[in-house]
Each structure stands twice: as structure tokens, then as C-alpha cells.
Amino acid sequence: MTPDLDSTDLVKRFGTTVAVDNVSFSVPPGSFFSILGPSGCGKTTIMRMIAGFLDPTSGEIRIKGKSVLDTPPNKRPVNMVFQHLALFPMMTIAENIGYGLRRRKMPKEQIARKVDEALDRIGLPGIGARKVDELSGGQKQRVAIARCMVLEPDVLLLDEPLGALDLKLREHMKVELKALQAAFDTTFVYITHDQSEALVMSDQIAVMNAGRFEQVGTGRDLYYRPETPFVAGFIGEANRWKGRIERIEGEALQMRTETGLEMRATATGTLAAGDNAEIFVRPEAIRLAGSAEALSAFDNRLQGRVASILFNGAASRVLVEDDAGETLEVTLPQSGEFASLRRGDPIHIGWGAAQASCFKRAA
Amino acid sequence: MRAHARIGFVLLLTPLVLWLGLLIVIPHIDMAILSLRERISFGVYEPSLMQYEKALTEPLYLRTFWRTAVMSVLATGITLLIAFPVAYYIAKMAKGRLQQVLFLLCLIPFYVSELVRTFGWMILLRETGIVSNLLQWVGLADQPVEMLYNDAAMMVGLVYTSMLFMVVPLVTTLESLDDSVIEAGYDLGGNGLSVLREIIIPHAMPGIVSGCIVVFMLSLGNYLTPTMLGGKDSLWFTEMIYNQFIVRSNWELGAAFGFMLLVLSSVIVWGMLRLTGRTLQETMG
Amino acid sequence: MTRTLLLSTTLIAGLATMAPAETLRLLTWGGYAPDDVVQMFEEQTGHSVEVTLSNNEEMIAKLRATGGGGFDLAQPSQDRIMGPQREFGIYKPMDMSRVDQSLFIPSMLEATMGNTTVDGAVYGVPHIWGTSGLVMNTAEAGDVVKDYTDLCDPAVAGKVSYRLKRPTLIGFAFAMGEDPFAAYGDEAEYKAIMEKVEAKLTECKPNVKTYWSGGDELMNLVRSGEVVASMAWDTGGWKLNEDNPDITFVAPASGALGWIDTFVLPAKGQADEAAYDWINFVMQPEIAAKITAAAGNFTASAGADEYAEDALKAKYQASFPQEAIDNIKWYPPVPAGLESIEGEVLDRVQAAN
């Protein structure tokens, strides 16, 4: 099957800065593809090149197998939901949604019907006559999507559209966006710096850093099997140790940290004894226990004191200061087991070598 | 506490009330009374509608009146046509320093008085002026060309004088238009023309209307430019008012003319607002 | 307490001795109050002078707006005193005993006093006189333009100018063989003359480059050669003559129009003392000669001729042979009502196509 969107060796330079550096990817039809990266990583540049507002320095962009490089933005079969939505404030909701159809010289009655359908589809029937500023943030969001979707684009681009919403609404819209995508059955290309948005909604996520794609994969892949230290650090949170590899057998390895601890971990990529390396362990992969015995099954064990408890509901953390003086972040289970934990209490922690990813580090 | 607030309010309001009262309301009442009387003999006056009757029946006055109105509307239209692309370029295309420099360039002609600006045009357009000499030098004309003292020269002067007052409100409103809204217009299939018509112009409407109102009033009330550049055919209504007041010492007719001009500008401004479906608050606020 | 009293008494006494020193607010024409003359006057009398420049119409409009206030001495032309005084009462009678009459050329003083007498009171004394006629480039238009009506000659089409004001109407009337001054008393006859003039001016309009309104504007037009002949004041021609010997003032065949600018006291003037002092000061022959040098026109001061520059005298003599002097038409006072007839004529000419 031809991918809906396919880009090869895409490069964009602004003067001497390389904003997008040799990026290739393809998005299969009907999928939700996210580009996740910190601000300034070049993700918006990619999106603007796909939409046609920027010309790539070199490389190719194909939509449904056809190159669109010579097609102006108003003729490309892609539409874009802008960061601040960019609804037309001088028009009503119905006029906003009908704008693209009017441009296609569709008869008036047909436009009206399509607009009504689209409003039904986004669950806001009958608001066509309202003004843009009479709508709530979430409603505007849906209108912005409907405005693009009535044009039945091959690819819908979304540029951090949830950025302006408050937390609660954002959580809600994540679910809703995914549902809308399924309902319209269109390929979505979504840009965000918020990993949770990307993880929740996407079929595929490209993690982008400094103009390059670090890793493309499902959320699960990125979370469990990060291929680069950047991905490991960017997706989710991690405790890190730097050190030198002492022994390695297959993927299993042992590293001596700079603070003198001995740790077992799993290698990502090719590593050899004597290499400088870095180990990433997620807070939620670390087990807390009152005694060392309870952790005997784990490859790595440490003991220390509770330096602080960061209560945040389900995402509560304990900061543990180990004997070497380092502070580790550990997820605090809400099972009641550790409800009585106080600052200064002695505590034991442990984790398996499979949960500790080790990456080679530049010397 | 309340009393204090009240005193503060009154104190704040006093200068405005004084200004409006002393400089606008009272002189206008005086003018109204003046326009409603007729000279009988030395120092003897009687209430009469004669002045308005004269103003409305004498073909010369009427012709000048309408000519001034039509030319002012035309000047406003031309100013808008020229200022819009300029304002769009300043607000949307130019970035950073260039934007500031361009804006300043629009402002610079207003550092000198209107008289000097108009003289500048006279130096350019007169028979022995720069444009005429240039045309002869290039070979497009074989004898001096007189470009002054006609309606076109007058129009050039009016448009030039008004330009800034159109550019400023346009730049302000266009700047407030989010670039992504324009991009969305293209992204959803619009071309340059439809984006202009459906998105940019509707958005800029408050600026267009307030710019037009200001330029129209300035043109209507302009005295210097029409008299200097229009020469023997200028025929501007403010000139008539000046003539009646100063040259003919006929204050009664001058006052009647003044009121006609006030009514005309009010009606046209009202019409402009009606036409664009705006209220004065929306436009000025 | 005593000391304060003493101090204030001294202050009051001090002010009292200063009392004659007043501020003279003078409403006049450009060149009539040159800086050096003002300075000499201030040094000699202790008065100070504030000069405001204007023209006939604006002077009267300003005084009318304030009911004759805001200025202490004004200088309208002698024909603009009787009418406005009767209409608006903006002047006050002059106390001729406070004017040193010996300083004036007797015939001119007598004529002006006669022309500015309302209800037995004298309102004006003469200061500066001059004429209006034709300023032209004699090399280019000298053969064609001999009189005002020659400005309409096709040979000078597009190269002539005049003002759209009453002197033009009067000048054209004389050139067309009429005597508008004789018709001043007869409104119907005057109207008939003006209608003829209107027809002539309307017919002449395509010939005119532009109607000039300011002296500098005209000077520029003539100096640049865009205009070769224009109706204008004599001084304008003489000034241009310094730059280009071909340009000069020519008295038209039908006679130059003579005007006299006067001194009048505005009704609400507050510094009469200073006003009379000023009149008596500037009419002294040597001071009058300074003003002549600045304004370009001669004054009504007796004996000032001796002090006048020879160059100016020569120009004057060139422009005015004896018969031209005899032929000068002096403006009599304008009766009320005529100006509205003239106004309508001027409006229609302006609007004509």
C-alpha cells in the first residue's frame, strides 16, 4: 500500500543553520503519526514544508505517491490545524467550515449540507450561526478540525493544537482527537513537545532532536526500548548513572558508576568492556522495600534514606538518597504499603537489569 | 470615600468638558446664531433663513459644495488604494528593522509643515520644475510641461497629505491579524484574491473605516492644498468659507457654509459606517 | 509690617514712574515695522512693540472678531476705514492734537483725513503709499501688454497672472474705459460695470496661469519666467528688477491704482500713548526713509525723499513719468454693499470654466 505521506532525505537550511537534517519517514494511510521533540528541534519546519509554506532545501515529499514540491499550499491535498487554530474571527462557525468548500466553487446548498454534517460529526450540531469568540476552547478545537476535514484531505497536519488549552481540557481532547481521527479515518500528522499527547494518541511517534529523527516507533517501543540516550531521557523520566563498562556478555553487562557503584544493565547498541556508558532507569521500574531480603530477586539493590516525598496522586515520587550521596527518583506505589513513610526513614530499593538501559556515551 | 471618588471624577472630566465646551460647543452655537440672521443695514441684523437659502440656491455654491464632497471621497478612495498595499507590506512582509524604517519613512514628511510639503509639490510639478525638466531631458516632452493648477495636481497633494492617516490605522489593524490566519486561508484552498477579500479586508475593516473617516474629514477641511495646487480652478468649499469670513466680511453666509460642511461630513461619515455595518464605538474604540 | 508697607509703596511708586512705558501691539504689513526701527523706538521711548503681520481683509476680520480688541494700532488701507467703522465700529477716533501733523505731506494728510472721517471724527492718518499696476518682463511682454486687458492677449496665453481680488476688478474696469470710482455712489451702475468686468475676466480665464494670492508666490512665478506679465504692486516689480533688469513695474495706460495705508486706533486698543508715540516716531524723515528701504514704498512723511536711496528713486522715476503720476487713480472709500457685488463677481469668475 502506498503511504499517505512519504518524505525522503528532507533537508532545510536557513542560512548556515540546518533546521531539518536529512529526515526520511513514511506514514501509512489512516494512521496517527506524531513528531515529538523539544521546541526548536525542527518539527514545525517539517510541518510547514509538508503544508507548502516552506520549500525544502533538498529532498522529496510525496503524498499518495505523488510529489507535491511544485504544488502551492492552496492546491495540496493536505490541510493544517494551526497552533492557535487560526479560525477566521470575521466569519461565523458555518462560514469557517464552509470556507474551503466555497473555494472549490461547491454549490451553496451542498456546502450547507456538508457543514451540517461536519458539525454533527464533531458533536456540535446547530452552532453554525455562532461567532468564533462565543465558543469554548475545546469547541474551537473541534471546529478547526472540522474546517479541514470537510475538504477530505489526504493528510491532516496538526501543529500543537492542544498547547493553548488548560490541563483538564487537554486530557479530554487527547481522547477526543484520537476518536475524531478514527471517525474521519484520515491520516493525522501531529506535532507536539508533550510526550503524553504523543504517547496517548499516536500509532507511530518520531522523536526528533536537533533536526534529526532519533527514533521512530510505537509509544511502547520508545518507552521500553529507547534506542538513543536522548529518547531514553526525553520519553518518560529516568535516573541516570554515568560510568565505565566492566564486563559484557551478549546484552547483559556490568558497569562501574563514577560514584563507585556496581550495576547490571541491558545494552542498547554495540558496547564493549571499557566503554564510557550511561544507564537509564525509570522511577516506575524501581521497587521500594523495607528490608534488603524483599528485594533479593532484583539484580541491582541499594539502600538509603528518604530525602523527600513528592506527593502527586498517582504520580507520587519518593526521593531516595543512597549511601553514595546520589538522589534517585522512585515511584511511590499507592497501595498503602508505604503510607507511613516519612522523611529520614531508611529504605531499600532494587530493580532488574532488564529495566536498566545502557547506552554508549561519547568519551 | 465616595465623595472623594466623585471629586476625582469631576476633576478628571473638567478639562475635557472645558475643551469641548469652550472650543467646540460654544463657537458652534455662536456660528449657528450668526448663520441664522440677515444684514439689513449698518449694524442692524434680523433673524432669517436667507443665508441658507442663498447657499442652497446659488449654483456656484452648490457646485463647489458637491465638487468638494466628491473630490474628497475620491481622494479618500485613492488614498486607501495606495495605502493598503503599503500598510500590508509594513505590517506583514517587512520584518524587524526594515519595518521600523519603513514606518518612519511614512512619518518623515509630517515632520515639516503642510505648507512646506505643498511647496515641495509645487517645486516638483511647476512648469520650470523638476518633473518638467526631467521629461524634457528624457525626451518625452519638447517644451516645458505645466502640471500644477489642475484637479490632478490637487488630488496628488490631497492624497499625499492624507497618506499617513490611512497607513497608521491600517498597519495597526493588519498587525493584529495573526499570520497563521492568512496561512490558514491559503491552506484551505484560497488564492491571493480570495484571502484578501474574505480574510484580510474584513479583518482590516475597522482600520479601513477609521482611516477613511479621518482622511475624508482632512480632505474636506483642507484649505492649503486645494488653493495652492489647484490654482485658478481649485474651487474648494473651505476656500469659500475663508472668502466669506475674511475677504468679504460676510460672516453670516460663511457661518451657513460652515454648518453645511459640518452636516455634509456628518452625513458621509454616518453613511460610511452604515455601509460597512459598523458603529462609531467599534471603529474608534 | 511697616517694612512691608514701605516696600510695597516703593514698588508702586516705581511702577508709577514706569507707567508711560506700554506694550504696543501693532497690526501691520510686512516691511512696515523693520527690526531696526522697532529697536530704536523701544530704546528711545521705553515702550515695547509686538508686531503682527497681516493684510487688509485679515486685519478687518481680526478686529471684527474681537470688536476692535487685541491690537493697539492697525494699518488698513484708507478705503477700508469708513465702511467697516460704520458697520462694525472697530476703530476709535484719532486725537489729531497728539499727532505731529507737521511731519506729514500736507496734501496726503488732508486727503486721508477726509476719506476716513465718520460722523465728524477723523479715524486715520496716512503712512505708506504705493500703486498697483503691471509687473512684467519687458523683453517678452513689453510690446503686447500695455494695460490690464492686454493680459488677455493670446500672445501671452498661459503666461500671465493676477489676483482674484477687488483691485483686479477696478483695474480691468478702468482699462475697459469705465470709471468704477465715479459709480461708487450708484449701486446699479456699479453692478453693470462689474458685470462687464466679469464677462471679460471669464473670457480671459484660460489665458491665466494661476491666480496668485501671496506676494512671494508671484515673485517666484515671474522670476522663474513662468509668468511674463501680472497685475501686481509696484514694489514687487522693483525688487525683481534687481535680479533681472528686464523685469520691472509698468504703470498701465489706463492708470496705476494708488493706495494709502494708514494708521488707525482699534476701538479697544489699550496703549494709545504708545500708538501716538509710534506714529510720531516713524513719520520722522530719517525713520521713514528706513521704512521705505524695507518696504520698498514711499511714505507720507514730509522730507523723507532726501533720505531715500537713489536706486529706488530711479526705479520709481522710470516707472512713473510725470503723466503716469498724474494718471494714478486713488482709491476712494468703499461704500457698503459694493463689496458683496464684487464678491459675487469674484466667486463666479473663480468657478467659471
* Per-residue confidence (pLDDT) for residue C261, from 0 to 100: 95
Give the whole-angstrom CA distance, residue B32 versus residue B17.
Answer: 20
Residue in B187, B193, B195, B205 to test binding to A, most A beta-carbons within 10 Å? B187
Q: Which is more confidently placed, C2 or A118?
A: A118
Cell numbers representing residue B247 in the block: 475677504
Query: Could B188 and A83 be called an inter-chain contact, meaning their C-beta atoms sit closer than 8 Å?
Result: no
pLDDT in tens, chain B (285 residues): 566 778 888 888 888 888 888 888 888 888 888 889 887 777 778 888 888 988 888 888 888 899 999 999 999 999 999 999 999 999 988 888 898 898 888 888 888 888 888 888 888 888 888 888 888 888 888 888 888 888 889 999 999 989 989 999 999 999 999 999 999 999 998 898 999 999 999 999 989 999 999 999 999 999 988 888 887 777 889 988 888 888 878 888 899 999 999 998 899 888 888 887 766 666 554
Whether residue C17 has pLDDT greater than 80: no
For B245, nearest residue in chain C (alpha carbons):
C61
Whether residue A162 has pLDDT greater than 60: yes
Strand partners, C50: C25
How many CB pairs below 8 A link A and B? Answer: 64
CATH code for the structural domain at C21-129+258-322: 3.40.190.10
Query: Could A103 and B186 be called an inter-chain contact, meaning their C-beta atoms sit closer than 8 Å?
Result: no
Query: Could C351 and B251 be called an inter-chain contact, meaning their C-beta atoms sit closer than 8 Å?
Result: no
Query: Could B189 and A89 be called an inter-chain contact, meaning their C-beta atoms sit closer than 8 Å?
Result: no
* Per-residue confidence (pLDDT) for residue C45, from 0 to 100: 92
| Phi–psi pair at C135, nearest 5 degrees | -100, 125
| CATH 2.40.50.100 for domain A237-360 | yes
Full residue range of the structural domain in which residue B223 is found: 61-284
For B64, nearest residue in chain C (alpha carbons):
C351
* Per-residue confidence (pLDDT) for residue A180, from 0 to 100: 85
Q: Are C21 and C272 in contact (CB under 8 A)?
A: no
Whether residue A97 has pLDDT greater than 70: yes
* Per-residue confidence (pLDDT) for residue C37, from 0 to 100: 94
* Per-residue confidence (pLDDT) for residue B1, from 0 to 100: 52
Per-domain boundaries in chain A: 5-231, 237-360
Average pLDDT over residues C71-84: 92
Residue in A54, A90, A140 to test binding to B, most B beta-carbons within 10 Å? A90
* Per-residue confidence (pLDDT) for residue C20, from 0 to 100: 64
Query: Could B187 and A51 be called an inter-chain contact, meaning their C-beta atoms sit closer than 8 Å?
Result: yes
Cell numbers representing residue A214 in the block: 532519533
Query: Could C61 and B246 be called an inter-chain contact, meaning their C-beta atoms sit closer than 8 Å?
Result: yes
For C87, nearest residue in chain B (alpha carbons):
B42
B209 domain residue, yes or no: yes
Q: Which is more confidently placed, B266 or C20?
A: B266
* Per-residue confidence (pLDDT) for residue C15, from 0 to 100: 42
First to last CA, chain B: 31
Query: Is the Cβ of A161 closer than 8 Å to some Cβ of chain B?
Result: no
* Per-residue confidence (pLDDT) for residue C5, from 0 to 100: 45
Give the whole-angstrom CA distance, residue C242 versus residue C219.
Answer: 12
B25 domain residue, yes or no: no
Q: B-chain residues within 8 Å CB-CB of A49?
A: none
B49 domain residue, yes or no: no
Looking at CA atoms only, how far is residue C223 from chain B in angstroms?
11
Give the whole-angstrom CA distance, residue B118 versus residue B161.
Answer: 8
Whether residue C60 has pLDDT greater than 50: yes
Residue % of chain C over a pLDDT of 70: 94
What residues contact C348, with CB distance under 8 A and at least 6 apart?
B60, C198, C202
Average pLDDT over residues A262-286: 88
Sign of the dihedral through C-alpha C214, C218, C223, C224: positive
For C217, nearest residue in chain B (alpha carbons):
B228
Q: Do the domains spanning C21-129+258-322 and C131-256+329-351 agree at the CATH topology level?
A: yes
Give the whole-angstrom CA distance, residue C154 versus residue C44.
Answer: 57
Looking at CA atoms only, how far is residue B14 from chain C in angstroms?
26
Burial of B237 by CB count in 10 Å (0-12 exposed, 13-18 middle, 19+ buried)?
Answer: buried
* Per-residue confidence (pLDDT) for residue C12, from 0 to 100: 44
Query: Could A51 and B191 be called an inter-chain contact, meaning their C-beta atoms sit closer than 8 Å?
Result: no
Neighbours of chain C (3+ CB pairs under 8 A): B
Query: Could B247 and C343 be called an inter-chain contact, meaning their C-beta atoms sit closer than 8 Å?
Result: yes
Cell 458683496 identifies what position?
C340
Interface of B with C in 75-94 (CB under 8 A): none
CATH of the domain at B266: 1.10.3720.10
Query: Could B43 and C87 be called an inter-chain contact, meaning their C-beta atoms sit closer than 8 Å?
Result: yes
Query: Could C343 and B243 be called an inter-chain contact, meaning their C-beta atoms sit closer than 8 Å?
Result: yes
Give the whole-angstrom CA distance, residue C118 versus residue C126.
Answer: 16
* Per-residue confidence (pLDDT) for residue B2, from 0 to 100: 65
Residue in C159, C210, C213 to test binding to B, most B beta-carbons within 10 Å? C210
| CATH 3.30.559.10 for domain C131-256+329-351 | no
Q: Are A280 and A226 in contact (CB under 8 A)?
A: yes
Q: What is the pLDDT of residues B30-45, one digit of tens each?
A: 888 888 988 777 777 8
Q: Which of B181, B157, B160, B175 is nearest to B87 (CA)?
A: B175
Interface of A with B in 80-99 (CB under 8 A): 80, 82-84, 86-91, 99
Eight-class DSSP state of B126: S
* Per-residue confidence (pLDDT) for residue A10, from 0 to 100: 93
B51 domain residue, yes or no: no
Cα–Cα separations (whole angstroms), residue C214 to C219, C259, C347: 9, 18, 18
Give the whole-angstrom CA distance, residue B87 versus residue B208.
Answer: 11
* Per-residue confidence (pLDDT) for residue B281, from 0 to 100: 61
Whether residue C9 has pLDDT greater than 70: no
Query: Could B184 and A90 be called an inter-chain contact, meaning their C-beta atoms sit closer than 8 Å?
Result: no
The total domain count for chain B is 1
| Count of C-beta atoms within a 10 Å radius of residue B283 | 21
Kindly provide the b/e burial profile for residues A71-91, where b requires at least 16 CB atoms within 10 angstroms of the residue's own CB. eebbebebbbbbbbbbbbebb
Per-domain boundaries in chain C: 21-129+258-322, 131-256+329-351
Written out in words, the top-level CATH class of the domain with range A5-231 is: alpha beta
- Using pLDDT thresholds of 50, 70 and 90, give the confidence band for residue A81: very high
Q: Which of C260, C279, C283 is nearest to C271 (CA)?
A: C279
Whether residue C262 has pLDDT greater than 50: yes
* Per-residue confidence (pLDDT) for residue B88, from 0 to 100: 94
